[in-house]
Amino acid sequence: MTQNTEETVRTDIDIAEILARIPHRYPFLLVDRAEDYKPGQSIVGIKCVTINEPFFQGHFPGNPVMPGVLIVEALAQTGAVLMSKTLEVDTEGKTIFFMSIDGVRFRNPVRPGDVIRMEVEVVRARSSIFKFKGVAKVGDKVAAEAEFAAMVVETPTK
């Protein structure tokens, strides 16, 4: 019988921990929970899309579609959760900022009732800067994909 010597890491992240790790709040918090967290490697963010989302009032009446830029923002927030947990960022004194985005492609619309799975993996990490590759899926269909980067910065004092 072999004994597992690796440290067990909790792979699911609930909304309470997400709220503790990133500063976003309603109506701009776009990650409901996360799963399959692998420190410094990857995470899957989950967003349950409802008709109650404020952007659906104007995008588009009679044909509600989640704006693509918000899908990309949801990917970035998922990456921020991964960074925050991996680096154990002090959320009182630091903030994770989106730095760049490349190769964005929108493939399929996201509509009310959809559940978006945001698969985010680390492409490169150096100190407090991470580069990610992310794919947002509804079921087996890709809604959007992008590469993006984020960094940890000091929160300005008042």
Output b/e per residue, 93-114; b: 16+ Cβ within 10 A.
ebbbebeebeebebeebbeeeb
Catalytic residue among 24, 33, 38, 59: 59
Residue 134 buriedness (CB in 10 A; 0-12 / 13-18 / 19+): buried
Look up 59 and say whether it is catalytic: yes
Cα(120)–Cα(99) distance, integer angstroms: 16
Q: Active-site positions?
A: 59
